[in-house]
Structure 1
C-alpha cells in the first residue's frame, strides 16, 4: 500500500483513478477499530477512500501530550491493507500541509466553540478547523467521516463546511467501544492495565445517567456524577455536562421540546479520556 507524503503525489494518485465519489477519513494515526469502522463506511459509500495520518501540532494545548501521542504508521498501513486496496494513505509532514508557517487560523464558529472543550482547551477548535480545512483542500473529497465520540468536534466540522462553503457531505459515525465499554481511542494505549479496567467507569456512569434521566433533575444528575468520581482515586473528573444536543449549550433545566446529550471528560494519570451519550428528549 502506497503512502503519499506530499499533496502533489496524492493528487496525482487520485486523478489517475478519477473517482466520482471520494471518501475521506482524517486521523492522527495509531489506528484502532473505531477508525477502521469509519474507513469501512467510507469504502462502502465511495469508489475510492483517502485516509490521512497526521498528528496536528496546532490542536494540542499540552506539548507533552503532543510529544507522547502514539505514532505507528507501519502498523496503521498494515491494518488498512486488510480492509481494501481502494485506500490511499496521505501522511504529510507539517510543512507540506501548512507551508512555511505552522500556525492556526481563526474561525468564527460561534457559541458551539465556547462550550466544554472550547472552554477547557483554548484555541483547540481553531487548530482543528485549520488542519481539517487544509486536509479538505488537499484531498477534495465528496464525503468525510468522523466519529461521534468527539461530538462537539463533529458539530465544529459541520460549521467549518458552512463557513468555507465546501461541497462535502459530513458523516457522523457511531462510537466503537472496548469490551469494558470504554470508548476506543488512540490514547487508550497509554493506559496501564489497572487504569484501563477502571476507565470502564466513564461509560457505566453515562449509562446510569441515562437510566435516571426521566426521573431526575439535571442538578441531581450533576451531583450524582460528581460524587461518583470523588470516591475514585485513579480517575479525576475534569467536567461533566448535560447540553442541548442542537446548540451544545449547557442545560440547567430540561424542556420536553429539546434533545439532550451527556458529555464527560476524565483524566487517568496523564491520559485524558472523553465520552458522550445521547439522553433523548427532556
Structure 2
C-alpha cells in the first residue's frame, strides 16, 4: 500500500494508472476502521484495478463540536487493517490540504428536501459538510466508482444527487451494512459504547426487524410506535426517529404498495452516543 499525505504526488500516481487504462475505485472514510469499511474495500477491489481509501475526519460535517472532539482516532490500527486487506493507496490529508482556503466560506449544494429530513433535520448543516468534503476528494482523485455503505442511506442518496450535478462521470455503489453477530450495525461510534450498551444497542436493529416481520399485517403508525417501544425497552435514552419510507425518494409512506421498495430507518441515543440503522424491505 502506498500512503500519500498531499494532493500533487497522489494525482501524479493516479494519472499514471489512468494512462495504463486502470479503473480506480474510491472509498472515503473518517477512520476508526472496522469490518464494514473493509467490506467497502473488498467490493471496490471486485470492480476496480486500483482502490484508493481516504482517512479524513471532516470538521465541516459535525454540527456538534463535542461530537467532533470525541470522534475516535485509531490511525495505526487503520493503516494495519488497510495493509492487511491489500488496499492499493491510502490518502491521509490534513485539514489544510482539503480546505486550503479555510472552512468558513464553503460551497453551497442544492439538495432539496433531502437536506432537511431525518439526519438533516437533527444535524443541521451536516449534509453540506458531507458534500463539500466528498466534492473536494472527488476533484482530487477523480475515481471511476465511489463506494459508500448502505448504513448511511440518506447520505448515499445525498451524495448520489451531488454526483449527478457535479461528477456525472463517476459511478456510485452502495454496499450492504456490515453487522455484529447480534445484528448491531458496525459503526466507528460503537467504540464509545460500554460492553453493556453494545448489547442493549441491538434493540435498534430488533425494532427494524419487527417492522419487517409485521409490515404486511400492521398499520404503519402502529408499527412505528411498536418499534419505538422496543428501542425504549432496550435501554435507549432518546429516539430521534423511526420511519418507514419509499427507498427511492426517502419520503414517508402511509400504505404499502406492491412493487415499491421500502426502507425502515431509525436513529436513537444510548450512553450519549447517537446510532443510526436501516433495513430495506
Which category describes the TM-score, using the shorter chain as reference length? over 0.9
Residues 105 and 127, structure 1, Cα contact 8 Å, conserved in 2? no
Partner residue of 2:277 out of 266, 275, 279: 275
**Which residue matches 2:92?**
91
Pick the aligned partner of 2:189 from 172, 187, 190: 187
Residue correspondence of structure 1 range 256-267 to structure 2 within 5 A: 256-267=258-269
- Cα deviation, 1:117-156, whole Å, max 9, x if unaligned, reads 1111111111111100000001110011001001111111
- The answer as to whether partners of 1:148 and 1:172 remain within 8 angstroms in 2 is yes
TM-score after normalising by structure 1: 0.94
2-structure distance, mates of 1:78, 1:190: 21
Structure 1 residue aligned with 2:117: 115
Distance 1:88 1:256, change over 3 A: same
Residue deviations 1:154-207, cap 9 Å, x none? 111110011114311101101100111000001111100000010011111111
Q: What's 1:52 paired with?
A: 54
1:70 aligns with 2:72: yes
Matched residues in 1 for 2:158 and 2:125: separation? 13
Is 2:45 the counterpart of 1:32? no
Q: Distance in 1 between matches of 2:240 and 2:167?
A: 35
Query: Residues 195-249 of structure 1: CA distance to partner in whole angstroms, max 9, x if unpaired?
Result: 0010011111111110000000111111112222343444422211111111111
Instruction: State the match for 2:10 in structure 1.
Output: 10
Residue deviations 1:54-79 (CA, integer Å, cap 9, x gap)? 00001001111100111111211111
Shift in Å at residue 112 of structure 1? Answer: 2.2
**CA contact 1:95–1:102 (8 Å) conserved in 2:** no
Q: How many residue pairs are counted as aligned between the two chains?
A: 278
Query: Which residues of structure 2 form unaligned runs of 5+?
Result: none
CA, structure 1 residues 46+219, in 2 after alignment: closer, same or farther (shift >3 Å)? same
Which TM-score applies when normalising by structure 2?
0.94
3-state DSSP class of the match of 1:172? strand
**Residues 133 and 217 (structure 1), Cα distance of their counterparts in 2 relative to 1, 3 Å cut:** same
Q: Which runs of 5+ in 1 are unaligned?
A: none
Distance 2:29 2:214 in 1: 35
Q: Mean Cα displacement is larger for which, 55-64 or 17-26?
A: 17-26
Secondary structure at the residue paired with 1:237? strand
